């Protein structure tokens, strides 16, 4: 793992200066009207389309120019012409209540101090009709990666329409379709779903500008400027403001909170779903044992789900969860610290306890030097059944497509979620929201032109810059702490899943317990826990609980009392 941008996060360029570079008269929105009572799943095929001139202007946008000189690599560039957003009107039914809302789809420019557009950031905004904007909350939401579009939060959790999955969140048979989302918080808050530069329809002006934004610091600056420009153009400065980040999106959210509080933008609340602020808590290496310690309780919960623990442990998994947490912080942490100085009996005891709490064979644990990483666990828990266990969600299992022993890492979760989300979202954008473009929608920035394999890092232009090794592990927890102590009204909600190995819940708890906050500020942090994985909203019961938790959070914080 490369290292932190921490010092850089505290020394970002002033947003106010960038603000002056934005154009005073942005393009007016193209309004596409539909009957409020019309079911958006059944819009006629001849529904009004975006004006032809606007479509043609976009048509060539994702065919980057690649001038090539002798001995030179292609120089990829994208059209930075700003076009008007597309506006449509819809109605859904949520828990017996009809919600009429407006959807706005477009891209906002991110400009330098001279007014030159360096990137266009794609977004979809949902605003409930007939509301007072000065009192109506607005939530800015995004996934993480880094290099992930926000399709997952958009179509699985927050948006008014949701991918139809099985009740337990597993993959349904095709063809895939959408349903009204019973879990959308649109009743309580307007929503702005944002795609990071290089994902979705968000594009940098060229690869050099892309490199600027494909870093911890540059990414935070871009999202910070997007939020400033959105609340400016849409006159939402007086609204209660929220950030909702998932996975690396929590890293970004924490950084944004510290970045914008110094620029006059304070948030009522921040929701951190599947949190990672301090990457030391996730890193498995010979010089860092913390990751092994903090991931262990998640191994236990997943092993319990698959009935790989002893019957006495399965009888009460909450009790077992408490036991393994104590073991992880106590005997296991001490054993890792002792290293080779452990006696043979002490080592045998720790191996025995690890086998008890993980369901793994003792010889594998011994060969792993008592240090079990995620790959080792997911590849070995159900190896007797020739199945891999999911990393993003340990409930998912599947045979390895390339053979039991032939793949460095395989996560069945992605195979079960990518097809239904990708297919339905592309159809939804173009047909229901009327956003007509020939651009490919990049679910991952690693799918950009030039990548040797979709989803694989190294073949394409997208490369994330983590920072300097001298500065330590990547960390934005300090930025969140700064925002919390500068604004004593800021509240933080941490959402975490028991079966998540990408951002284990115990690691998130460790980070929040090491912010160096007094009780006055610690009381502003609350937790919501789920019997789910990284995307706690995939199963319907997780979605219902997430809506209840976030709605309650909004009710408690919108008035900043």
3-state secondary structure 399-437: CCCCCCCCCCCCCHHHHHHHHHHHHHHHHHHHHHCCCCC
pLDDT of 76 reads 81
Which stretches in the chain have pLDDT values below 70? 1-75, 402-417, 449-459, 468-471, 560-561
pLDDT of 449 reads 61
* Whole-angstrom distance, CA of residue 394 vs CA of residue 376: 13
pLDDT of 137 reads 97
CB 365 within 8 A of CB 349: no
Half-sphere CA count of 97, side-chain side, radius 13 A: 13
In CATH terms, the fold of domain 86-281+421-556 is: Rossmann fold (3.40.50)
pLDDT of 379 reads 92
pLDDT of 416 reads 53
* Whole-angstrom distance, CA of residue 399 vs CA of residue 483: 45
* Whole-angstrom distance, CA of residue 488 vs CA of residue 486: 6
pLDDT of 289 reads 94
pLDDT of 414 reads 54
**Residue 506 region by backbone torsions, left for phi larger than 0, else alpha for psi between -120 and 50, else beta:** alpha
SS3 for 318? helix
pLDDT of 423 reads 86
List Cβ neighbours of 518 (8 Å cut-off, separation of 6 or more). Answer: none
CB 359 within 8 A of CB 306: yes
pLDDT of 27 reads 65
List Cβ neighbours of 208 (8 Å cut-off, separation of 6 or more). Answer: none
pLDDT of 559 reads 81
pLDDT of 64 reads 52
pTM higher than 0.75: yes
Domain extents for the chain? 86-281+421-556, 289-372
Dihedral of CA atoms 496, 502, 503, 507 in degrees, nearest 10, equals 120
List Cβ neighbours of 118 (8 Å cut-off, separation of 6 or more). Answer: 80, 110, 111, 112, 204, 205, 209, 212, 213
Calculate ∠ Cα 361-367-369, nearest 5°: 110
């Amino acid at each position: 793992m490369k290292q932190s941008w921490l010092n850089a996060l505290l020394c970002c360029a002033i947003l106010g200066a960038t603000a002056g570079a934005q154009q005073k008269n942005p393009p007016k929105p193209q309004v596409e009207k539909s009957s409020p009572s019309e079911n958006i799943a059944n819009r006629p095929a001849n529904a009004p389309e975006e004006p032809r001139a606007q479509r043609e202007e976009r048509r060539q946008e994702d065919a980057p120019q690649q001038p090539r000189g002798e001995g030179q690599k292609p120089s990829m560039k994208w059209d930075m012409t700003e076009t008007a957003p597309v506006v449509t009107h819809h109605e859904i039914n949520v828990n017996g209540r009809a919600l009429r809302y407006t959807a706005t789809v477009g891209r906002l420019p991110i400009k330098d101090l001279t007014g030159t557009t360096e990137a266009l950031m794609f977004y979809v905004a949902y605003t409930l009709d007939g509301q007072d904007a000065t009192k109506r909350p607005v939530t800015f939401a995004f996934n993480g990666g880094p290099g992930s579009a926000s399709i997952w939060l958009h179509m699985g959790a927050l948006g008014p329409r949701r991918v139809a999955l099985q009740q337990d969140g597993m993959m349904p048979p095709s063809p895939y379709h959408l349903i009204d989302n019973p879990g959308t918080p649109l009743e309580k808050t307007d929503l702005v779903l944002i795609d990071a530069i290089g994902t979705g329809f968000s594009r940098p002006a060229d690869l050099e500008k892309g490199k600027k934004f494909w870093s911890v610091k540059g990414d935070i600056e871009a999202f910070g400027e997007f939020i400033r420009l959105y609340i400016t153009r849409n006159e939402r400065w007086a609204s209660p403001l929220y950030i909702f980040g998932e996975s690396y999106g929590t890293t970004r959210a924490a950084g944004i909170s510290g970045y914008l509080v110094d620029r006059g933008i304070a948030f009522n609340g921040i929701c951190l779903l599947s949190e990672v602020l301090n990457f030391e808590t996730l890193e498995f290496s010979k010089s860092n044992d913390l990751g092994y310690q903090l991931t262990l309780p998640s191994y236990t919960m997943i092993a319990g789900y698959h009935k790989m623990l002893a019957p006495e442990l399965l009888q009460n998994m909450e009790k077992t969860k408490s036991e393994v947490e104590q073991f992880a912080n106590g005997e296991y942490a001490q054993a890792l610290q002792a290293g080779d100085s452990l006696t043979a009996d002490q080592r045998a005891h720790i191996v025995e306890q690890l086998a008890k709490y993980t369901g793994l064979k003792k010889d594998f644990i011994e060969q792993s030097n008592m240090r079990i990483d995620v790959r080792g666990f997911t590849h070995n828990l159900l190896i007797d059944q020739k199945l891999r266990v999911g990393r993003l969600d340990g409930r998912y299992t599947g045979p390895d497509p390339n053979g039991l022993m032939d793949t460095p890492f395989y996560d069945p979760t992605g195979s079960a979620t990518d097809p239904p989300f990708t297919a339905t979202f592309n159809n939804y954008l173009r047909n229901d929201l009327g956003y007509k473009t020939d651009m490919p929608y990049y679910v991952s920035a690693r799918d950009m032109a030039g990548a040797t394999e979709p989803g694989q890092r190294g073949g394409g232009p997208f490369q994330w810059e983590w920072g300097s090794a001298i500065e330590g592990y990547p960390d934005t927890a300090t930025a969140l702490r700064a925002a919390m102590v500068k604004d004593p009204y800021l509240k933080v909600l941490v959402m975490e899943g028991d079966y998540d190995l990408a951002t284990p819940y115990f690691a998130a708890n460790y980070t929040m317990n090491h912010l160096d906050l007094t009780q006055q500020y610690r009381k502003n942090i609350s937790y919501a826990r789920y019997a789910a994985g990284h995307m706690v909203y995939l199963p319907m019961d997780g979605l219902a609980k997430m809506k209840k938790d976030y709605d309650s959070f909004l009710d408690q914080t919108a008035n900043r009392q």
